[in-house]
Amino acid sequence: MDRITIRGGNRLSGRLPISGAKNAALTLLPCSLLSAEPLTLTNLPRLADVDSFGHLLNELGVTTTVKRGAGDVIGREMTMTASALASTVAPYDIVRKMRASILVLGPVLARAGEATVSLPGGCAIGNRPIDLHLKALEALGAEIELAAGYVKATAPKGGLIGGRISFPMVSVGATENALMAAVLARGETVMENAAREPEIVDLCRCLVAMGAEIDGIGTDRLTIQGKTSLHGATYEVMPDRIEAGSYACAAAITGGDIMLAGARAEDMEAILAGLREAGVHVDATAEGIRVQASGALQPLTVSTAPFPAFPTDMQAQFMAMLALAGGTSVLTETIFENRYMHVPELARMGADIQVHGRTAIVKGVDKLIGAEVMATDLRASMSLILAGLAADGETRVHRVYHLDRGYERLEEKLSAVGADIERQSDG
């Protein structure tokens, strides 16, 4: 297992290219299952989760070819062809490694009339049930059976039928699964209280490029006119707003000046508003977003909630930054019930954080001190990297495979803007 060693204290400055978005990629890849014609995705990030998803698609009978992309983020280009599906089963061995595998349920069901996916089970940041995914598919006429750790969905004879889906709470994944099923259902589907994260907009645009008809894109009410088939397309994955937000925090916590090349400000309003309130200078330009910090960081009160509010995927990184603010911050996590696993690790570095249920009280300290820390999930790992960049002395972050799931070439990107960071193999 690898670890990352950081000698903190360097002020970061320069240009840092933002990669294609992991969470957009993970919902665009299964779109390939919806058509017999090829889907080409460009600007795909080079990440462990994207590779795992490619293997899952291969398992289902999709042929994949990968090319190195052009441009400075060196994203990849993958062409996926699902002429016919070889299997309708997503097995335990793949699903347990990557929860997003559940996103093949809707498209395989819509295309083949049935789909069987291993239940994803619990995960480090909470229970993460899939009941909303299943209810949405039932609203399109599917029958759902649960047996031996698998969920099997079967469409009526003649295929899924358009329906009305009213989500009791906002779910990104359930909205994605429902969309990918509804585009091939007979007739009209109306979805209410749909998630409207930028990654959902990206999914809708890709589906439209494949011939789908969707109204209300970017709102919480989506109307879909089902088609009997979709065609091939080429689609560029959006830039990763969470990667960009994470590196914005790296600039903030080191008093640095970073140009997040390719980042899109309109996808990140709540994150940028938080940075500005903390006293960081943020400037959106044609090239990307420039983040400049100097002087003391101000404390914040932030609550996570579905888009357009502040994203749960940025909570841990903001916490690391606020650990060094001049005053007391209050962070409330409303999406996942167990997303404070970075708190004890940050405390090992000298942070003063108390958790009361879903709220964390962060009292700013003068300095953090390098320590050996353990990564527990993807964004928690990033908060430890950020703390390490600002800390006195050396920080060693263990179990970095979490980071490899979501941050492309992390050490390379941070070294290029002046960080003293390297990866070692634990052997």
Contacts to ligand UD1 by CB under 6 A: 23, 26, 100, 126, 128-133, 169, 171-174, 311-313, 335-336
Sequence letter at residue 78: M
If you count them, how many residues does the chain have? Answer: 427
Least distance CB 173 / ligand UD1 (angstroms): 3
Q: Is 61 exposed, middle or buried (0-12, 13-18, 19+ CB in 10 A)?
A: middle
Q: Are 333 and 358 in contact (CB under 8 A)?
A: yes
∠ CA 73-79-80, nearest 5°, is: 130
**Nearest residue (beta carbon) to ligand UD1:** 173
Closer residue to ligand UD1, CB minimum distance, 193 or 328? 193
Least distance CB 61 / ligand UD1 (angstroms): 23
Closer residue to ligand UD1, CB minimum distance, 313 or 404? 313
Least distance CB 5 / ligand UD1 (angstroms): 27
Assigned token pair, 133: 């995914």
CA distances to 5, 17, 348, 427 from 21, in Å: 26, 12, 31, 31
Least distance CB 156 / ligand UD1 (angstroms): 22
* Active-site hit among 31, 123, 204, 249: 123
Assigned token pair, 207: 């589906």
How many CB atoms are closer than 10 A to CB 287?
12
Assigned token pair, 425: 């193999």
Q: Does 249 participate in catalysis according to the annotation?
A: no
Q: How far apart are CA 108 and CA 116, in angstroms?
A: 9
Least distance CB 281 / ligand UD1 (angstroms): 27
Closer residue to ligand UD1, CB minimum distance, 14 or 126? 126
Assigned token pair, 284: 């959106």
Active site residues: 123
